[in-house]
Amino acid sequence: MIKRNWPWLLGLVLLFFFVRYDGISFVTGLLLLGVVLVVWGLTGSRKKRKPRSEVPDLSAELESHYAESGMSSSEITFFRETMNQTKNEITQLQENMQQTAKLKAIDLRHDPVKAAKALFKELVKEPNRLHEASQFLYTHLPNLVDLTNKYNEINDHEIKNKQTYEKLEESAQIIDQLARLIAQDYQQFVSEDLEDLDVEISVAKQSLKRDNKHEPEEES
């Protein structure tokens, strides 16, 4: 409590000496004290505020890629801000999933980090499909990051009771489901590519079948 209120205590002491020895009025002293405390509070809040992650500079190659995709300047800006936020969340998720044995097991079972990174790359390749990944971008990924943050925070408590362990287990079950959903998000996003591959495989098989039919029989 003393550490938290030391600016007030120091200010009151200074106010006492100013009024007693410098002859300034008590009201003037209070105003000076208020100014000092306001400045201190603003400075402290700036120090505590976590710096925002800036969007990296746009390379000429990516700028050309986005322009060729038919995106306007505002669309490019929105896309890059969204992807920058997503990249930060994926980085945080990767750190979170490695902090406990339970989360490591979930990561091994569903590969949510690997799936998130893969989907991120696919979106960069096809930025016009951003809306198709809305569940991943705005629901599944941020919820999983928030939940794993809280899970690790509670898991770090020195003393845990029965209720704590029950909440951790419940959280782990939800984390497992969200991790599975992220893997599904990726599979759904690339499903068209898989379908195209099936078509190409089918065509190639038909071609091979025809070629084999027309091959001359070997002389006995």
Q: Look at residue 191 in the predicted model and tell me its pLDDT.
A: 86
Q: Look at residue 3 in the predicted model and tell me its pLDDT.
A: 43
Q: Is the pLDDT of residue 188 over 80?
A: yes
Q: Collapsing DSSP states into helix, strand and coil, what is residue 62?
A: helix
Q: Look at residue 23 in the predicted model and tell me its pLDDT.
A: 54
Confidence of residue 54 (pLDDT cuts 50, 70, 90): confident
Max Cα–Cα distance, the chain, nearest Å: 124
| DSSP for residue 190 | T
Compute the half-sphere exposure of residue 208: CA atoms within 13 Å on the CB side of its CA.
6
| Alpha-helical segments (H) within the chain | 2-17, 26-48, 60-68, 73-96, 101-110, 112-125, 134-135, 141-155, 162-189, 191-214
In whole numbers, what is the pLDDT of the chain averaged over residues? 79
Compute the half-sphere exposure of residue 102: CA atoms within 13 Å on the CB side of its CA.
14
Q: Is the pLDDT of residue 41 over 50?
A: yes
Helix axes 112-125, 162-189, angle to 10 degrees: 30
Q: Is the pLDDT of residue 46 over 50?
A: no
Q: Look at residue 1 in the predicted model and tell me its pLDDT.
A: 45
Q: Is the pLDDT of residue 53 over 80?
A: no
Q: Look at residue 130 in the predicted model and tell me its pLDDT.
A: 95
Q: Look at residue 57 in the predicted model and tell me its pLDDT.
A: 85
Q: Look at residue 55 in the predicted model and tell me its pLDDT.
A: 84
Tally the residues of the chain: 220
Mean pLDDT along residues 9-18: 54
- Percent of the chain surpassing pLDDT 70: 63
Distance (Å, rounded) from C-alpha 77 to C-alpha 71? 10
Q: Is the pLDDT of residue 162 over 90?
A: yes
For residue 178, give the nearest of 101, 89, 112, 108 by alpha carbon. Answer: 112
Q: Is the pLDDT of residue 16 over 80?
A: no
Q: Is the pLDDT of residue 139 over 80?
A: yes
Number of H helices, E strands in the chain: 10, 0
